[in-house]
Structure 1
């Protein structure tokens, strides 16, 4: 029986922290230049909600701004993220390439399901050549509901997956696995929270631990 693992991107494969504060500072400096922000960059507030779709991010960080301002900010932030990725400011988590190679050698297909926007994901996949291993990368932009469970379901349907797991650092990843009858593997790094990880079937501290979990997908 063929196996598959669906990975989250931010806080699971990609160390978003390395470019998050830099890009957010760039963005809020831009808002200051437009006289649309006069306080500190709300980096801690963003960390609290990291993992939700970007439209919801700006609803939270810019609650009193217009929809037009939020959309403008969203576009500018994406530009800064992509630029910082292409300048090599980010990094994958340790052992991503090693684990991906192991999975492919063991006939396990790899997918990415992320709340990140398409251009952002394309930049990461392209810079780190993840498409050497990944069958396809899916963005929340492809789903009208902006729901991670629905995004994972779309992967299952497209590829006819029956034996798979979801790997991620946030509750949305764990819930997406449960909602689709898949194994949930929580990552004890990235933007993980203990109360969310407690709901996962497995919790790992390093991606290399997936090597030992892979045989359990058949059970």
Structure 2
């Protein structure tokens, strides 16, 4: 979802500010806000790992509260119309669906967030499944994608994503991997091992 379909910084900039304002007010965090670039650079990771990087040395209580606040403020932002899909995502997904392709999301995010983005941005109905680590309690995206493939008896598929976890999940499940080089959250070397790189979501139609 993040960095592949959804341009997360269009939502997260305001969410980031609100999270740390609230944590500071509640006495769970001191000092200036961490750079939002640090949070954006962690997208695609499991939440428990994100906060250890963004707030090193923070308490368990602070990290747990940050989880709650992040989801709350993300859903409030989405409901208020914040956050956009990457260019051509919706039209491309609709065309793929019209061609009879089965479409799925596999995300390390929370269930309510992943489903919330899809619902609020009007693309939920295009997917045969929205899989998240938050819903299935998986320890890695490799495990999440394996579950998805098994649930739907899928023998061949393409994994499309922007992070090393996507490449790993695809390769470890025997899939072709398309790396989204247009995403800005990860580093280009994260896509090493992908079978092909795209710089525009519409390229999927040709592939």
Q: Give the TM-score category using the shorter length.
A: over 0.9
Find the counterpart in structure 2 of residue 40 from structure 1.
Answer: 32
1:128-173 Cα distance to aligned partner (Å, 9 max, x none): 2212211110111234442001000000000011110011011100
Identify the residue that residue 117 of structure 2 maps to in structure 1.
124
Q: SS at the partner of 1:203?
A: strand
1:23-62 matches, cutoff 5 A = 23-42=15-34, 43-62=36-55
TM-score, with structure 2 as normaliser = 0.94
> Which residue of 2 is the match for residue 212 of structure 1?
206
What corresponds to 2:191 in structure 1? 197
Q: Match for residue 5 of structure 1?
A: none
Structure 1 window deviating more from structure 2 (104-113 vs 178-187): it is: 104-113
Q: Counterpart in 2 of 1:6?
A: none
**Match for residue 88 of structure 1?**
81
Two-structure CA RMSD over aligned residues (Å): 1.3
Distance 2:69 2:2 in 1: 19
Trace 1:13-162 onto structure 2 (pairs within 5 A): 13-42=5-34, 43-162=36-155
Which runs of 5 or more residues in structure 1 are unaligned?
Answer: 1-8, 214-219
SS in 2 for 1:108: coil
Q: Which runs of 5+ in 2 are unaligned?
A: none
Q: Please tell me whether the aligned partners of residues 177 and 195 of structure 2 are also in contact (alpha carbons under 8 angstroms).
A: yes
Higher normalized contact order (CA 8 Å, seq sep 6+, divided by chain length): 1
Which runs of structure 2 are paired with 1:160-199 in the superposition (5 Å)? 160-190=153-183, 191-199=185-193
Moved more, 27-36 or 156-165: 27-36
Aligned residues: 205
SS in 2 for 1:44: helix
